[in-house]
């Protein structure tokens, strides 16, 4: 059965902390892994990873894929209250997407 | 608990036909959201429903698209008189309340030929 598991389920940190969110996947015909930030209604696309070991960065956020371990991490450095959201990862296989249940991140001042 | 179930997984329709996409939320979830996958990998919000109520349909095209979430049965996203531009992956998510805890389905890929 194809599945994506995220950990931790929730996380509370103080502003300025660095967090690491985990995503592991077991899917057939893996194509890519995607990270989203879910706020209110619609997830915002963050990263798409297809190659192992190549870090993608966007400001304070970065992500890397490990195809050997079937996992990915999302790092957020110097967290801000605006980073509070649910972070979703999804594994794409062909035309199907399998989403994890998300990690709820709360950043307190 | 099978999670959020979407069916069919793949749907092929000819131009002008109707497409019906179904979403069964997780047990205990009474909130359903529909999204359309954009080519740039983003998810575009379409509509948010609770049982028998449309809460927010600000992302729905004004014509040909409708959604319902009846008291019994799955939520339905209905597209009338489909056109080629409707071809996309459509996802639904459910949650137990407004504050999150979203669970996504695996999507329905609609192809209009």
pLDDT in tens, A26-38: 998 899 999 999 8
Give the whole-angstrom CA distance, residue B92 versus residue B4: 8
CA distances (Å), origin A8, targets A27, A63, A83, A105, B1: 20, 16, 16, 9, 21
Alpha helices in B35-103 (DSSP H): none
pLDDT in tens, A39-98: 877 788 899 999 899 999 999 999 999 999 999 999 999 999 999 999 999 998 876 778
Strand partners, A66: A71
CB spacing of B9 vs A43 below 8 angstroms:
no
* Cβ pairs A/B, distance under 8 A: 55
Residue pair A2/A93 in contact by the 8 Å Cβ criterion = yes
pLDDT, mean of residues B29-44: 84
Give the whole-angstrom CA distance, residue A2 versus residue A20: 24
pLDDT number for residue B37: 86
Q: How far is CA B22 from the centre of its chain?
A: 7
Q: Is A88 on the interface with B (CB under 8 A)?
A: yes
pLDDT at residue B4 greater than cutoff 70: yes
Give the whole-angstrom CA distance, residue A95 versus residue A89: 16
Task: Tell which A residues from 9 to 68 touch B, by Cβ distance under 8 Å.
Answer: 34, 36, 38, 41-45, 48
CB spacing of B45 vs A38 below 8 angstroms:
no
pLDDT number for residue B87: 94
pLDDT number for residue A34: 92
pLDDT at residue B1 greater than cutoff 60: no
């Amino acid at each position: 059965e194809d599945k994506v598991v995220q950990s931790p389920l929730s996380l509370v940190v103080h502003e300025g902390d660095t967090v690491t969110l985990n995503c592991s996947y077991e899917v057939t015909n893996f194509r890519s892994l995607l990270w989203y930030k879910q706020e209110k209604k619609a997830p915002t696309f963050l990263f798409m990873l297809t190659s192992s070991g190549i870090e993608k960065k966007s400001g304070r956020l970065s992500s890397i894929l490990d195809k050997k371990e079937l996992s990915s991490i999302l790092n957020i450095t110097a967290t801000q209250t605006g980073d509070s959201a649910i972070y979703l990862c999804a594994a794409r296989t062909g035309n199907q997407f399998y989403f994890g249940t998300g990690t709820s991140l709360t950043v307190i001042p | 608990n099978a999670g959020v179930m979407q069916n069919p997984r793949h749907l092929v329709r000819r131009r002008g036909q109707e497409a019906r996409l179904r979403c069964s939320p997780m047990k205990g979830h009474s909130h359903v959201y529909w999204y359309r996958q954009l080519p740039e990998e983003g998810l575009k919000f379409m509509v948010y429903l609770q049982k028998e109520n449309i809460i927010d349909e600000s992302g729905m095209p004004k014509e040909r698209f409708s959604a319902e979430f009846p008291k019994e049965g799955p939520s339905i996203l209905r597209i009338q008189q489909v056109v080629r531009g409707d071809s996309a992956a459509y996802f639904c998510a459910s949650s137990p309340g407004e504050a999150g805890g979203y669970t996504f389905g695996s999507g329905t890929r609609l192809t209009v030929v």
